[in-house]
């Protein structure tokens, strides 16, 4: 007995890994860390075999990939795990759902942890998916042969938002009820299919048979909505997302894994351990971040849902606040249906419009200035709109500066006015026709050193012209109410005089702020809408050019309308109320 020695860890490892049980479970023999072992580890493992065996180091760099695709997938797995655990306690019924949330918070072991993690991981996933898309755009990784995978990515982004949105309702608190009410009301404005949308009467849409009704399972958010959203959130959408992810990953792998360009004699490194450790790190550090977040901040839970008590303001989830803010500038069917669909279609169309072969697999602002500028302009506008909706809108959606308390009361906003159709119609036509034609008609290369100051001067000149017109025609007019006390201002919508009076009411002053605003917006429009396309895409083939310019003009159009509404109280530039066509 005295000769007995405990086996060393190395010996134990050998005994275990050589045992028939181990050998039957794991393929391959003893791990010797040879290149063959490392390759076999990838090929022979069902979870890892989607990876190549060897890959190029430059595709692995964090600064290249940001790791956002992988992190999004990890968050999806984390959400699935936490979601399944929450499902053990949560019952989707109006009498029980809210109480179950309280139980999770107070008495279920680790209920607080899983719920907090689920909530924050969901927000984080929306962010990482968007960042992933931005990175893929900036490195041109959607260019052939990866166009379709970009489209799948856009679909996955939409599904991510929908997953998050359907989950929003489940706690059945005031936040849930009203955010979903706001969100689904937009669906009611769908043209043809929503009972408040244009042309819906043609299909016989009523409040109880339109697309909103289908979404809610009723005319208002209630029991049926809860079970619908529950099934969508827990079963249907995750299933679709899972299937799409398989496709997405499969295409990544088949399209040679990374778009980073090849260079001669480039050294390849083994995926095990070089990529696997990075993936593990991304997952681990993401988990650490979500855990810390879950420790520091509890997931919000307001009072129990009460359909008879509307909080003021009622805000949609943050990622839809941009669309809710758009409601200020456009009718619901445009803000809530047309524009989001155009964004999705426009994003999908990008790889098919952009035929610039340069800048695949690296950050190439110099080689793709137009694509970068327009994409980043769109992304910036999206987040600016979200920021406005989140921090600048208070009760009754009034504008509050960050230094103003939301407890103070705001005067009613000034009266808005419509540009008469005789003026607005041609202006709108000129905007699109001129916007399409002008960059293509100017055949010469323009010298920006000369043109940009000239455009700046032009912008100021426009502002001066507007100021003079305002001084001559409008500012001397007495307010509408005084001039026509016996007339209902609404009935005066179409007369030219009444329009002038309406402007006078809505815009009694044209001060220095308005002056600067006009100059800036005219300059932005000229620069992004004319100079940029003139320089970079005027020689595109016609169909591509038109598609690209339409996206550019629509994006800038939204910006211009925001300026017109915020700065000058213009409600509609062109309006045919009979068919709900108001721009």
Partner 1 sequence: MSPTIKKLFVWGNVALVVLLVLSVIRDQSGEWKKYQKTYYQLEAKELETKLAATTDETEKESLKKQIRAKEHAGLEIKQFIVKDLGRIDRCVTCHVGMDPLFNPTLTNNFTEQPYKAHPGDFLKTHSPTKYGCTVCHQGQGLATTVKDAHGFVEAWEKPMLGHPFIQASCAKCHQNFESLPGAEVAADGRGLFVKNGCYGCHAVKGWGGVISEDLGEVADKPLARIDPAAFAANGLPRERWSAQSWITLHLTKDPMSFVPGDPEGHMSAPISPSGMPPFYLELKEDEAKAITTYLLSLTAEKESLPHKFFVDVPVKPEPAFKSATEHGKFVFQKFGCAGCHGVEAKAGRRNFNALGPNQTKMEDGREPTLPDTVGTFTRDELRAKIQNGVPSVSINKFKTDGPTPPLYMPSWKEKIKGQELEDLISYLLSIAKKTEEW
Rounded least distance, CB 21 to partner 1, Å: 28
* Cα(230)–Cα(235) distance, integer angstroms: 8
CA angle 333, 380, 322 (to 5 degrees): 30
Convert 47-58 to b/e letters by CB count within 10 Å (16 or more is b): ebeebbbbbbeb
* Cα(547)–Cα(532) distance, integer angstroms: 15
DSSP H helices in 477-541: 480-483, 496-506, 512-526, 532-536
Q: Which letter does DSSP use for residue 395 in this model?
A: G
- H or E element at residue 272: helix 271-296
The sign of the CA dihedral 458, 460, 461, 462 is positive
Residues 6 or more apart in contact with residue 389 via CB below 8 angstroms? 315, 316, 318, 321, 322, 324, 325
* Cα(385)–Cα(185) distance, integer angstroms: 19
Enumerate the β-bridge partners of residue 575: 582
Cis peptide leading into 201, omega within 30 of 0? no
Residues 6 or more apart in contact with residue 517 via CB below 8 angstroms? 563, 567, 568
* Cα(383)–Cα(375) distance, integer angstroms: 13
Nearest one of 330, 323, 286, 270 to 580, comparing CA atoms: 330
**In terms of CB distance, is 283 or 350 closer to partner 1?**
283
* Cα(316)–Cα(537) distance, integer angstroms: 38
DSSP letters, 446-480, are P-HHHHHHHHHHHHHHHHHHHHHHIIIIITTSPPH
**In terms of CB distance, is 114 or 536 closer to partner 1?**
114
The helix-helix angle for 174-187 and 223-231 (nearest 10°) equals: 80
Enumerate the β-bridge partners of residue 54: 270
Name the 3-class secondary structure at 576. strand
Name the 3-class secondary structure at 377. helix
SS3 content of the chain, % helix, strand, coil (to 5): 65, 5, 35
Rounded least distance, CB 303 to partner 1, Å: 5
Name the site residues for partner 1 (rule: CB under 8 A): 95, 99, 102-103, 105-107, 109-110, 112-113, 173-174, 273-274, 277-278, 280-281, 284-285, 287-288, 291-292, 295, 301-303, 306, 309-312, 407-412
Question: Torsion-angle region of residue 33: left (phi > 0), alpha (psi -120 to 50) or beta?
Answer: left
* Cα(101)–Cα(96) distance, integer angstroms: 9
């Amino acid at each position: 007995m005295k000769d007995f020695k405990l086996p060393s860890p190395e010996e134990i490892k050998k005994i275990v890994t050589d045992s028939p049980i181990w050998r039957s479970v794991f393929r391959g023999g003893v791990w010797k860390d040879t290149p063959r072992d490392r390759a076999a580890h990838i090929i022979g493992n069902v979870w890892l075999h989607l990876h190549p065996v060897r890959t190029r180091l430059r595709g692995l760099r964090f600064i290249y990939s940001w790791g956002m695709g992988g992190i999004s997938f990890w968050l999806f797995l984390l959400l699935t795990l936490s979601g399944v655990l929450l499902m053990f306690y949560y019952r989707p019924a109006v009498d029980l759902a809210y109480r179950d949330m309280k139980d999770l918070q107070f008495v279920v072991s680790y209920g607080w942890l899983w719920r907090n993690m689920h909530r924050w991981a969901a927000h984080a996933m929306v962010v990482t998916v968007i960042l992933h898309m931005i990175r893929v755009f900036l490195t041109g990784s959607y260019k052939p042969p990866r166009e379709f995978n970009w489209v799948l990515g856009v679909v996955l982004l939409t599904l991510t938002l929908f997953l998050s949105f359907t989950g929003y309702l489940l706690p059945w608190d005031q936040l849930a009820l009203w955010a979903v009410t706001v969100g689904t009301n937009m669906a009611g404005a769908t043209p043809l299919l929503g009972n408040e949308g244009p042309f819906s009467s043609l299909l016989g849409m009523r409040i109880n048979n339109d697309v909103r009704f289908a979404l809610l399972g009723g005319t208002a958010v209630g029991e049926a909505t809860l079970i619908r959203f529950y099934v969508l959130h827990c079963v249907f959408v995750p299933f679709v997302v899972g299937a799409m992810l398989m496709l997405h990953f499969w295409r990544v792998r088949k399209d040679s894994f990374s778009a980073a360009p090849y260079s001669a004699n480039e050294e390849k490194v083994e995926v095990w351990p070089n990529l696997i450790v990075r993936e593990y790190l991304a997952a681990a550090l993401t988990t650490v971040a979500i855990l810390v977040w879950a420790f520091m901040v509890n997931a919000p839970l307001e009072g129990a849902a009460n359909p008879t008590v509307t909080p003021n303001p009622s805000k949609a989830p943050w990622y839809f606040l941009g669309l809710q803010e758009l409601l200020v500038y456009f009718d619901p069917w445009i803000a809530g249906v047309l524009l989001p669909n155009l964004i999705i279609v426009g994003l999908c169309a990008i790889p098919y419009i952009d035929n610039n072969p340069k800048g695949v697999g690296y950050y190439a602002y110099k080689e793709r200035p137009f694509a970068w500028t327009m994409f980043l302009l769109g992304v910036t506008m999206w987040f600016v709109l979200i920021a406005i909706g989140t921090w600048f809108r208070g009760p009754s959606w009034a504008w509050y500066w960050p230094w103003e308390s939301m407890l103070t009361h705001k005067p009613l906003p000034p009266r808005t006015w419509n540009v008469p159709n005789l003026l607005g119609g041609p202006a709108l036509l000129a905007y699109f026709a001129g916007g399409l034609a002008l960059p293509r008609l100017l055949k010469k290369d323009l010298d920006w050193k000369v043109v940009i100051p000239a455009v700046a001067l032009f912008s100021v000149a426009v502002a001066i012209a507007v100021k003079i017109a305002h001084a001559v025609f409008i500012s001397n007019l007495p307010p509408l109410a005084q001039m026509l006390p016996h007339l209902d201002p609404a009935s005066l919508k179409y007369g030219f005089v009444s329009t002038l009076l309406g402007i006078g009411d809505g815009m009694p002053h044209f001060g220095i702020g308005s002056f600067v605003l006009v100059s800036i917006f005219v300059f932005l429009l000229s620069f992004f809408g004319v100079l940029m396309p003139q320089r970079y895409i005027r020689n595109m083939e016609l169909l591509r050019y038109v598609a690209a310019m339409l996206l550019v003009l629509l994006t800038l159009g939204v910006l211009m309308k925001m300026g017109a509404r915020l700065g000058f109280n213009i409600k509609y530039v062109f309006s045919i109320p009979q068919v709900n066509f108001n721009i």
